[in-house]
Structure 1
Amino acid sequence: MTVFLWILQILLALALLAAGGGKLAKPHEQTAEAMPWARSFSAGQVKTIAALEVLAGLGLVLPAATGIATVLTPLAAAGTALIMIGAVVTHAWRKEWSQIAPGVVLLAIAVVIAWGRFGPYAW
């Protein structure tokens, strides 16, 4: 199970780093063209979401890999779950039904990681 959790952590971290990094690297206007939901938020809010995604991605792997402050790994997973709840709610509110499934999948992965690392497979 530990190997399975590591695989989930790495996959989720890569997804978060790609999503957050892409939003951080582009101006708000370009992000809003590619992701219509971003029009509902200010540039600062979108950049904050992106920064939280990047931090969560790093937090899913680095503490566990280094053995330093390993409690940050399940906390990053719990934070990711909160971000994904916000994403699912935002897409539902905007009636972007096709965008809900990816958020639900990432939410489920984050919950499994948080459960495993807070619980029976903690460091």
Structure 2
Amino acid sequence: MTDTPATKPLRVLFCGAVLQNFFDLPAAEIGKVWAATGEMLKGIRDLPGVTVLGTLDDDETMVGTSPNGWPWTFYILADVPDRATAVAACNLFRTIEVGEYRLWKYMRVEARIGRELVIPA
């Protein structure tokens, strides 16, 4: 069965940035944020219909925050079945708890939604 325009998955680039609040944490608190980050990553991967195509982490060559939206700290490229699924992935930043806060205190996300760019044969 081939995809029709109505069933073709969306190509989404989730762009994530680590915020200054993370860098301000005492060393003993950082592990909680990493655990929540792992939960978020697995949460995106495990959403129904999501296929993660690739990831990229800039953390070794970019030190500090991503204050202006570019460059981002990490990227997840995925096919998702619909816009609602992309929204649900972004919502993980709002709902995953890190102590008394949510993950969005320490990271932000932007989802760029488009379609696959097909390279001619």
TM over 0.5: no
> What is the TM-score with the length of structure 1 in the denominator?
0.32
* TM-score normalised by L of structure 2: 0.32
